[in-house]
Chain A
Amino acid sequence: MTQKKSNLSHTRRNILKIGGAAAALPLLGGRAFAQMSKVKAAFVLIGTPDDNGWNFGHDLGRLDMLAALGEENVETTVVTNVAEGPDSERVFRELAQQGNDIIFGTSFGYGDAMLKVAKQFPDVKFEWATGFKTASNLSIYNAKFHEGRAVLGTIAGAMSETGVGAYLGSFPIPEVFMGVNAFHLAAQKQNPDFVTKVVYIGSWFDPAKEADAARALIDQGVDVITQHTDGPAALQVAEERGIIGGFGQGADMSAFAPKAHLTAIIDIWGPYYIKAVKSIMDGNWKEGSSWEGLAAGEVVIGPYNPKIPAEVVAAAEAVRLGIIDESIHPYDGLIVDTEGVVRAEVGDVIDDGEFWAAEAWYAKGIEA
């Protein structure tokens, strides 16, 4: 399908769009007509932007987008702490009724609600982060965090003295176990005997339990720890115990653990948000699925802690650059899982997408 350039001006397109929405919903208030020169974009967050993690990253992306496209052209609304399920459906509908042109839902659990509301508001565009199903006015976008995990794994494998690392997660969902595998496989390239202990705390949010899990892991020989939960709880324990270190998740968390913070996987949503909102301005938004990583700059590795030896930094950079130029793949063979099944032969790679349909499995050397 070729992309048809819309020759409608931005203003006229909006008039048409609002006209359409108003016709469909005679009860829509006058509010939408007041600001027709601006594109209205809304962001629905599962937490608050000051979490230093997932929500922070999305809000930073929004601010980048505002800066790039100009506040005179775009108006944004952020709704925080929106529970997944029917409560979110109400929020999405409210935002659509308020005349937003594009609405970003930044959690997997918003999917059912977004798909429903998208059907009711065919003129509003929806963007579902970490989703898996599109519609004519609903796109999905995600980032390949596991590519960053491979860089962290390289550092962990090279620096760990005990040869035991840890991965702390909330629940075993694909995004988490593909990160576990990427981390572990990269670490094993540095240290073939590397062991990764995985602990799922069984709760979406419980910083005190995260901290205790980190203590339990460190007490059992772990000296490098990474976590797939928002917040710095595990890093702070790493700092307190003086182990080799840990990594920031979602954002740079070095303020919480200046010594233990080796580096961080930073989510950069700005470029995607600029692209999406720009396409609304230009009138050429289309249904799609975006899954970018290190190469597109959606996943960025933070500054390396000065205590990391130069050769380790070099190895980490080699992996990072290798993934960018596609000479290295996070899942290249030989990969054998804990049951002894060969998941990828030498020379083969496992396509990242395969994890989404798979039951959790772990590469040899992972204790999950």
Chain B
Amino acid sequence: MDLTIAMIITMVGASTPILFAATGELVVEKSGVLNLGIEGMMLCGAVIGFAVTFTTGNPWLGVLAAAAAGAASSMIFAVLTLSLSANQVATGLALTIFGLGFSTLFGQPYTGRPIGLFKSVFPPELATDPILRVIFGYSPLVYFSMIMVGVVWWFLYRTRAGLILRAVGESDTSAHSIGYSVTGVRYGAVAFGGAMAGIAGACFPLILTPQWVEGLTGGRGWIALALVVFASWRPFRLLAGAYLFGLIATMELYAKAAGGPFRILPSELWASLPYLATILVLVMISLRREGSTSAPACLGKPFLPTK
């Protein structure tokens, strides 16, 4: 029982950065834009988040700065793809290369310096009992990631602005002809995606391993990308999917630590599971052929106002 709870807590931690990044990317993709630069934006957020937390000692400021850094880096992508209608795939990849290079250069003076973890803000008495710990034992970032899923769902499906955003993603030309600024909406979505990716990056030094080293995010940006697809662009499936991916990753480690039958499965198989599952989900979506759960129709296509 205690072990299950401990595992849940580790799993939630491991899932949180993926959840943040995927929540941002979901909004981006819903608006019809495919930004493959998640990993790069995450690294920008991670290094800036670390630097600000290290300098000020205040993790809240670190998170804020990480969001700003992620959003700022996403603007490179936005200007190129939205204003100048550059190819989104190539621009996203360039953004990843840029983020890796930038964070490595910028982070050099911060390598090898410790910071404190961004710990739970609840009184420690609440976390003594195992059951309470599973509810109250996390960093504020964890609750924030869950809240953001709800916020995004509410925004997309319960507000007018969300409706417009989805319309822009499903049919940019009709949205444009009704009089919405397609480019403006997409700028907003990309900036939000960048901010979320920045916070996702900051999760690494703030809640997972309180240090900065280059390439700290270890390719999780790509898993986040897979997750959006896995969740078939639905916020609450995203939440479930993030924890499922986190569970796959942590279960491997717990199984290895425990010994027993699971250990004979090669770790390469475990590591492949999220990717294989994502492909499977893509296939299943297509087989059902229902428009409601498939990809936004305009995903990845450039849009230019004609008149």
Instruction: List the interface of chain A (C-beta within 8 A of B).
Output: 48, 50-52, 56, 166, 197, 199-203, 205-213, 215-217, 219-220, 222, 231-233, 236-237, 240, 255-256, 367
- Interface residues on chain B, number (Cβ under 8 Å): 36
Main secondary structure of the interface of B (DSSP, over half): helix
CB-defined interface of B194-218 with A at 8 Å, one 1/0 digit per residue?
0000000000100011110111111
CB-defined interface of B116-151 with A at 8 Å, one 1/0 digit per residue?
010000000000000000000000000000000000
> Which residue of chain B is the closest to A199 with respect to CB atoms?
B256
Measured CB to CB, the closest approach of chain B to A231, in angstroms, equals 6
Q: Are B14 and A231 in contact (CB under 8 A)?
A: no
How many angstroms from the CA of A233 to the CA of B220 in the assembled complex? 17
Q: Are B259 and A219 in contact (CB under 8 A)?
A: no
Report chain B residues within 8 Å CB of A213.
253, 256-257
How many angstroms from the CA of A237 to the CA of B117 in the assembled complex? 10
How many angstroms from the CA of A253 to the CA of B249 in the assembled complex? 27
Within 8 A of A (CB), among B13-29: 13-14
Q: Which of B6, B209, B257, B267 contacts A233 (CB 8 A)?
A: B209
Q: Are A207 and B114 in contact (CB under 8 A)?
A: no
Measured CB to CB, the closest approach of chain B to A4, in angstroms, equals 45
Q: Which of A56, A216, A233 contacts B256 (CB 8 A)?
A: A216
Is B10 at the interface (CB under 8 A from chain A)? yes
List 7 A–B pairs whose Cβ atoms lie within 8 Å, in order of A's numbering.
A48-B108, A208-B216, A215-B13, A215-B253, A216-B253, A232-B211, A255-B114
Report chain A residues within 8 Å CB of B113.
255
Report chain A residues within 8 Å CB of B114.
232, 236, 255-256
Q: Are B211 and A236 in contact (CB under 8 A)?
A: yes
Report chain B residues within 8 Å CB of A220.
3, 254, 257-258
Instruction: Check A240/B267 contact, CB under 8 A, given A208-B208, A220-B254.
Output: no
Is B250 at the interface (CB under 8 A from chain A)? yes
CB-defined interface of B81-114 with A at 8 Å, one 1/0 digit per residue?
0000000000000000000000000001001111
Q: Are A201 and B253 in contact (CB under 8 A)?
A: yes
Measured CB to CB, the closest approach of chain B to A197, in angstroms, equals 6
Q: Which of A202, A211, A216, A255 contacts B208 (CB 8 A)?
A: A211
How many angstroms from the CA of A203 to the CA of B114 in the assembled complex? 23
Measured CB to CB, the closest approach of chain B to A68, in angstroms, equals 25
Instruction: Check A202/B271 contact, CB under 8 A, given A212-B14, A255-B114.
Output: yes
Measured CB to CB, the closest approach of chain B to A154, in angstroms, equals 23
How many angstroms from the CA of A32 to the CA of B121 in the assembled complex? 62
Q: Are B111 and A50 in contact (CB under 8 A)?
A: yes
Measured CB to CB, the closest approach of chain A to B143, in angstroms, equals 19
Report chain A residues within 8 Å CB of B204.
207-208
Q: Are A212 and B268 in contact (CB under 8 A)?
A: no
> Which residue of chain A is the closest to B2 with respect to CB atoms?
A219
Report chain B residues within 8 Å CB of A207.
204, 208-209, 211, 213, 216, 218
List the 3 shortest-distance A-B pairs measured between CB atoms, nearest first: A202-B267, A219-B6, A50-B111
> Which residue of chain A is the closest to B210 with respect to CB atoms?
A236
How many angstroms from the CA of A210 to the CA of B249 in the assembled complex? 12
Measured CB to CB, the closest approach of chain B to A165, in angstroms, equals 12
Measured CB to CB, the closest approach of chain B to A177, in angstroms, equals 15
> Which residue of chain B is the closest to A197 with respect to CB atoms?
B257
Is B7 at the interface (CB under 8 A from chain A)? yes
Q: Are B254 and A216 in contact (CB under 8 A)?
A: yes
Measured CB to CB, the closest approach of chain B to A77, in angstroms, equals 18
Measured CB to CB, the closest approach of chain A to B260, in angstroms, equals 9
Q: Which of A166, A210, A217 contacts B209 (CB 8 A)?
A: A210
Report chain B residues within 8 Å CB of A197.
257, 259
CB-defined interface of B222-258 with A at 8 Å, one 1/0 digit per residue?
0000000000000000000000000001100110111
Measured CB to CB, the closest approach of chain B to A168, in angstroms, equals 10
Q: Are B218 and A52 in contact (CB under 8 A)?
A: no
How many angstroms from the CA of A367 to the CA of B260 in the assembled complex? 9
> Which residue of chain A is the closest to B3 with respect to CB atoms?
A219
Report chain B residues within 8 Å CB of A209.
218, 249, 253
Report chain A residues within 8 Å CB of B209.
207-208, 210-211, 233, 236-237
How many angstroms from the CA of A210 to the CA of B208 in the assembled complex? 10
> Which residue of chain A is the closest to B256 with respect to CB atoms?
A199
How many angstroms from the CA of A266 to the CA of B144 in the assembled complex? 41
How many angstroms from the CA of A216 to the CA of B6 in the assembled complex? 8
